Amino acid sequence: MREFVFATHNHNKMREIQSLMPDDIKLLSLDDIKCFEDIEETEATIEGNAILKANYIKEKYGYNVFADDTGLEVKALGGQPGVYSARYAGNHKSDADNVQLLLRNMEGKTNREAQFKTVIALCLDDATYVFEGIVKGIITNTSVGTNGFGYDPVFQPNGFSETFAQLPLATKNEIGHRGKAFKKLLDFLENY
Ligand code: IMP
C-alpha cells in the first residue's frame, strides 16, 4: 500500500479524491498527520502556493504529498482575482462577498472572458511534479444557480448556456479545472 498526504482539512474533498485513487493508494489528511497549523499562502502565483504547501508537508512531516490551489483569472481584470480568489473581498469575507465584488468590478466590461485554474503540486520521493487543469468561460452579468460554491454562480463554461452553479456536479467534474488537474495526477500515479 502506498500512502500520500492530501494537504487539505476538507473531508468532503478527501472522500471525493480517495474514491478516484487506485486501490493501492491510501490518502491521509492534514488532520490524520496532526498538522493543525495554518500554512500561509505567501507566493504570488497559484502554482507557487501549491508547491509551497506540498514542500512544507514533505519537509516538516516527511510524507509523500500533494497539494492543490485554485484561482479564477479574469482577462478584463488583468488576471485578478487569481491567487487572491479566496480573499478577494477581504480576509474574512464570504463567497457571496467575493462574487459581489467581482460583479461590481466587471460592470461595463465587454470582455467577459475568464478561466478557472487548478494546480496540483506532488512531492514524491525527491522530486516535485506539477499538474494543471484549466476551464475557460465567461463571467455572467448576474449570479445564477445554487449548486457548487465560490464563483460558480457567475462562471459560465464555454459551450454551455448555464453557470457552474446550474450544471450538475458530474458535468462540472468532467469539464472543470479541478477534475482535469486530478485526472492528470491520477494518470501519473497509476503509471509511476
Ligand atoms: P482553493 O485553492 O480550493 O482554496 O480555492 C480558492 C478560492 O477559489 C476559493 O475560496 C473559491 O472562492 C474559489 N474556487 C476554487 N474552486 C472553485 C470552484 O470550483 N468553483 C468556484 N470557485 C472556486
pLDDT in tens, 162-189: 999 999 989 999 999 999 999 999 999 9
pLDDT at 20: 87
**Angle at alpha carbon of residue 29, lines to 83 and 129, rounded to 5°:** 55
Domain count, the chain: 1
Distance 108 CA to ligand 1 centre (A): 25
- The rounded mean pLDDT for the chain is 96
Q: Tell me if 78 is assigned to a ligand binding site.
A: no
Print the domain residue range for 86. 2-190
Nearest CA to ligand 1 atom 22: 150
pTM (two decimals): 0.95
Q: Tell me if 26 is assigned to a ligand binding site.
A: no
Q: Tell me if 13 is assigned to a ligand binding site.
A: yes
Distance 1 CA to ligand 1 centre (A): 31
Nearest CA to ligand 1 atom 10: 86
CATH of the domain at 12: 3.90.950.10
Nearest CA to ligand 1 atom 7: 86
| Structure-block grid coordinates of residue 150 | 465560490
Question: First vs last Cα of the chain: how many Å apart?
Answer: 14
The pLDDT tens digits for 50-79 are 999 999 999 999 999 999 999 999 999 999
> Within 6 Å (CB) of ligand 1, which residues are found?
69-71, 85-86, 95, 98, 148-152, 164, 178
Beta strands 25-28 and 2-6 are parallel
Percent of the chain with pLDDT over 70: 100
Rg of the chain on CA atoms, in Å:
17
Instruction: Give the nearest ligand 1 atom to 152 CA.
Output: 21
Beta strands 65-74 and 2-6 are parallel
SS3 letters across the chain: CEEEEECCCCHHHHHHHHHHCCCCEEEECCCCCCCCCCCCCCCCCHHHHHHHHHHHHHHHHCCCEEEEEEEEEEHHHCCCEHHHHHHCCCCCCCHHHHHHHHHHHCCCCCCCEEEEEEEEEEEECCEEEEEEEEEEEEECCCCCCCCCCCCHHHEEECCCCCCCCCCCHHHHHHHCHHHHHHHHHHHHHHHC
The pLDDT tens digits for 96-128 are 999 999 999 999 999 999 999 999 999 999 999
- 101-to-80, 85, 151 alpha-carbon distances in Å: 12, 11, 11
